[in-house]
Amino acid sequence: MSDSAAWERSSRLYPRPNTGSICFDIKELDKATASFSQRNLIGRGGFGVVYKGTLSDGSLVAVKKVLEGLDDSDEEFRNEVEIISHLRHRNLVPLRGCCITEEDRPNGSLNDHIFGSSMGANGDSGRGRAPLTWPQRKTIILDVAKGLVYLHYGVKPAIYHRDIKSTNILLDGEMRARVADFGLARQSREGQSHLTTRVAGTHGYLAPEYALYGQLTEKSDVYSFGVLVLEIMSGRRALDTSVASNLVLVTDWAWTLIKGGRAGEVLDAALTRNDGDGNSNPKGIMERFVLVGVLCAHVMVALRPTMMEALKMLEGDIELPVIPDRPMPLALAHGSVFGEGNTFTASPALSGPRLNTGDVLR
């Protein structure tokens, strides 16, 4: 929520035309969040900070405060408000007005629950809270998939989120997932790919064809979703910067294990322990989720499933294909897409055929 005068024109709440949402006075949101207190901090998005708040009617909400003032050039903020004002789906964060809100109690971001405050010595997540259970992880992955299916197929023209990552997935009181932060979202041009010279997103989650060539399609979101699935299932970050020799993508790490017949080693250690009563999680199903994640994050666009196909694979409605080989994967080290240099390096842990220009577009 920007505190710009554009959003403070009135001391009263008033409806925004044609959206059913409300323009809130900044004082209402300041009161709801206890003056944007740090104890109410939920997480940080692409263009601001998100706080938990309680409105005067008792509604529990998530309030996104834009870090910079709103002006006529702030297309991202206006774009986010416009797009999510018209979205209605249980796995997407709806818009109450000039804030992001949930109908249920906000429970922080997925990032908080996967990673806690640090990474463990063995690469698994260092946690300040209990690790997510397998049923919770399964539900979260399916919720995110259903939200993306709705964006890609449930609205016309389709919407590409462009910034799917763990900090942009909010959890409610029942640990159900909702996709948030539509500041980078773009509407498609009737199924055509969108070419852009301004690539935006987050290291580790960017599809190669989008990061390198600016080609944006629904498969760009599919790639990011695949990375997210691997994070959830392994407890490892998308981009591991703790390795002294180089940056390591979770996709490269998981690919190496899977091609070596060791898919089970991708799983977070917390998922491979029994519950104390002699019961264990269904390893076969968990490994299927890992394989879907790797398939979605394939370096070549044509070999990734659509979000609809990925959801059906996760739910067991269709069989997974044999995981196809791929050219040497790309690890984006210091990409020019963020305006600093133009160096891209390949993971030293893998070998394979050299990636020809344009391969990732096919």
Residues that constitute the known binding site for ATP: 65
Residue 295 neighbours by CB under 8 Å, 6+ apart: 226, 303, 304, 305, 310, 313, 320, 321, 323
Token pair listed for 14: 């008033």
Owner of token pair 């990636």: 355
Residue 3 neighbours by CB under 8 Å, 6+ apart: 26, 65, 69
Count CB neighbours of 59 within 10 A. Answer: 13
Environment class of 261 (CB within 10 Å of its CB; exposed 0-12, middle 13-18, buried 19+): exposed
Residue 311 neighbours by CB under 8 Å, 6+ apart: 142, 145, 146, 149
Q: Which of the residues 25, 163, 252, 268 is marked catalytic?
A: 163
Owner of token pair 């998100």: 50
Active site residue 359: no
Cβ(296)–Cβ(229) below 8 Å: yes
Residue 248 neighbours by CB under 8 Å, 6+ apart: 239, 240, 331, 347, 349
Integer Cα distance of 135 and 139 in angstroms: 6
Integer Cα distance of 246 and 348 in angstroms: 8
Strands 48-54, 177-179: parallel, antiparallel or unpaired by DSSP?
unpaired
Q: Could you tell me which residues are annotated as the binding site?
A: 65
Q: Is the dihedral of CA 152, 233, 289, 206 positive or negative?
A: positive
Which DSSP letter does residue 101 get? B
Integer Cα distance of 228 and 310 in angstroms: 13
Token pair listed for 291: 């394989």
Q: Is the dihedral of CA 213, 248, 294, 183 positive or negative?
A: negative
- The set of catalytic residues is 163
